[in-house]
Amino acid sequence: MFATFIDKYNPAVIIKFPTECGTYNQELFDEYLRNFKALYDKGECFNILIDGRDVESFPPRYILQHGLFLSKYKKLTAQYIKKSAVICGPTMEKCLNLLFSVYTPESDMIVTQDFRKGLIHVLDKKK
């Protein structure tokens, strides 16, 4: 599995990327995008926390594909994702720079290295 989706902390959904996700094949990345799309298909607002602290590598092609995915579903992103947090280490921080060159986030977003701060942000139900 390219990433683990944890949805037991409503309204937050945590997406945890493993250390080795950069070595995974296209099929697993496509499955990740399908799982992400399934969040929109529920038709409910949610907040998202992306935990990339452990990521050691992340191919640029996946970053660009994710940016294109977010652009394609920009209206759904604006409609359903109210808050987001990205917890990052050095690798994920570089990935975000590339992602933000092709996609501008729509939600109330923070980028931090502090998991607790990110979690508090996405668990807050205020808009």
3-state secondary structure of 49: strand
pLDDT reading at 38 higher than 90: yes
d(CA 69, CA 15): 16
User: Could you give the residue ranges of the DSSP H alpha helices within the chain?
Assistant: 26-41, 60-72, 74-80, 90-102, 115-123
Mean pLDDT for the stretch of residues 10-39: 94
Mean pLDDT for the stretch of residues 93-119: 90
**What's this model's pTM, rounded to 2 decimal places?**
0.90
pLDDT reading at 32 higher than 70: yes
Domains, the chain, ordered by start: 4-123 (3.30.750.24)
Sequence-distant (≥ 6) Cβ neighbours of residue 69 within 8 angstroms: 33, 36, 37
Q: Is 124 exposed, middle or buried (0-12, 13-18, 19+ CB in 10 A)?
A: middle
pLDDT reading at 40 higher than 80: yes
pLDDT in tens, 42-84: 999 999 999 999 999 889 999 999 999 999 999 999 999 999 9
d(CA 35, CA 40): 9
pLDDT score of 73? 94
Give the whole-number percent of the chain exceeding pLDDT 90.
Answer: 74
Tokens, residue 98: 């590339």
Give the confidence band of 127 by pLDDT, cuts at 50, 70, 90. low
